[in-house]
A and B are shown apart, each in its own frame.
Chain A
Amino acid sequence: MGAYQWKWAVLVTQPYLGWLLQGLAATLLLALAAWIIALALGSLIGVARTLPWRPVRFVATAYVELFRNVPLLVQMFLWFFVLPEVVPEAAGRWLKRELPYPEYFSAIACLGMYTASRVGEQVRAGINSVPPGLAAVARASGLSLFQGYRYVQLPIAYRIIVPTLTSEFLGVVKNTSIALTIGIMEITASSRQIESYTFQGYEAFAAATGMYLAISIVLLFVTRKIESRTRIPGWIARGTT
């Protein structure tokens, strides 16, 4: 490979530096927005899977199985290419023409709903690892089912699953790279674009790799902080494998 000319300076030259920073911003934006959906919806699903009502459990289980058994790339295409075609015509036109940045909405919805299925499983595992006696005691002391979840089971469950939730968040960050297939210039897409403009592939991909590593190192530190604050003394994360 003697002919390869190293030019690390390309990474700090405009417009390439700008592309990288925009890519980083896009990745973080997608990941955070999707995470909000995933956390909210995933909590509902996780609770639903532990409720004593069969139809509710069935719906929640069906959701998890559906989203977990279709590749994320296929889901991305379904949200972006297929959904506007199968909804009523006016809604489809709105999705395609009038909604600004339709690819961002598709990607956020896709990543959020997919991650919700994974978060749902974690929340369920967390609730299931709360000793059943506690839920029984809550009911016996006069709390309603809802209050039992709100004041007893969920606060413990969330504290148990903090470590796995943070690794799910890192998962979303990595999965945002799939949004490049519908035209979003996130980190990976930006580095590929630099590669095709400058032929400095090593530098471009190294920059992308470095950004992902930096994100996961920052997350590691934040996680440690959160974990040490939320850890329940005497407990280890059970049932969350």
Chain B
Amino acid sequence: MGPLDPDVVWRNIPYLWEGLKLSFLLAAMAIAGGIFFGSFMALARMSRFAPVAWLAAGYVNFFRSVPLILVIFWIYFLVPLLLGRATGPFVSAVVAFTLFETAYYCEIIRAGLQSIPRGQVHAGISTGMSRFQAMRHIVAPQAFRNMAPILLTQSIILFQDTSLVYVVTLRDFMTNASTVANQELRLVELYLFAAVVYFTICFTGSRFVNRMGGRFGR
């Protein structure tokens, strides 16, 4: 190959930037959805009503046993069959990521909730709080502070995983980098650039997590 041609990257920056914005949007929606549903899933897993706990555990173990790519394929190819109309790659990617990440966030949140001594709930109840109030005002604030670093770490992993929507050609950063790479026949420049961009974002994020400190590392 000839010398590196950085110009090919600069020429296509607007297109790559569009992709990166979509990667961020997908990650943000999946993080929000994953933490939201993951919280409920964690409560379900800790439920004293056995069938609920059992179902939630089944959900978590199922999604932790299959690769994300397979989940993306499931949703992308099969939901349109089920609904009888096309949903588009973005909607199916958001659904797939939310379903998948809910399982991972659930386990993080459950561990966080369980790290708070049970006696504190009892203490809250004995001062006249309801069980829900004790969870809401005593357990949750401490638990979320404890698990913040791991939640962030998981979110960084999630952001990296958004690159997998490449397999359904949703125009995220990775797909756009690959499109440019193949159009311009400049695979080396584009994939190295993609690596540098992802690294910069994720490394900055993980430095931030380290600075937050806490006893949880990645």
Binding site for B on A (CB under 8 A): 1, 4, 65-66, 68-75, 77-78, 81-82, 85-86, 121, 125, 170, 174-178, 180-181, 188, 191-192, 195, 201-202, 205, 208-209, 212-213, 215-216, 241
Instruction: Give the complex CA separation of A231 and B198 in angstroms.
Output: 39
The answer to whether A212 and B67 touch across the interface, beta carbons within 8 angstroms, is yes
Closest to B178 in A: A77
Binding site for A on B (CB under 8 A): 1, 62, 64-70, 73-74, 77-78, 81-84, 111, 150, 156, 160-161, 163-164, 166-167, 174, 178, 181, 187-188, 191-192, 194-195, 198-199, 202-203, 206, 216-218
Closest to B196 in A: A70
14 more contacts with CB within 8 A, not counting A71-B164, A75-B195, A86-B1, are A69-B199, A70-B160, A71-B161, A71-B198, A73-B166, A74-B191, A74-B194, A82-B187, A174-B66, A174-B68, A177-B68, A202-B81, A205-B77, A213-B66
The answer to whether B84 and A71 touch across the interface, beta carbons within 8 angstroms, is no
Closest to A215 in B: B65
The answer to whether A212 and B66 touch across the interface, beta carbons within 8 angstroms, is yes
Candidates A70, A181, A212; contact of B166 at CB < 8 Å: A181
Q: Is the contact region of chain B dominated by helix, strand, or loop, or is it mixed?
A: helix
Closest to B66 in A: A212
List B contacts of A78 (CB < 8 A): 191-192, 195
Q: Is the contact region of chain A dominated by helix, strand, or loop, or is it mixed?
A: helix
Candidates B82, B83, B191; contact of A77 at CB < 8 Å: B191
Candidates A1, A177, A192, A215; contact of B84 at CB < 8 Å: A1
The answer to whether A74 and B69 touch across the interface, beta carbons within 8 angstroms, is no
The answer to whether A178 and B164 touch across the interface, beta carbons within 8 angstroms, is yes
The answer to whether B81 and A177 touch across the interface, beta carbons within 8 angstroms, is no
Instruction: Give the complex CA separation of A4 and B83 in angstroms.
Output: 12
List A contacts of B202 (CB < 8 A): 68-70
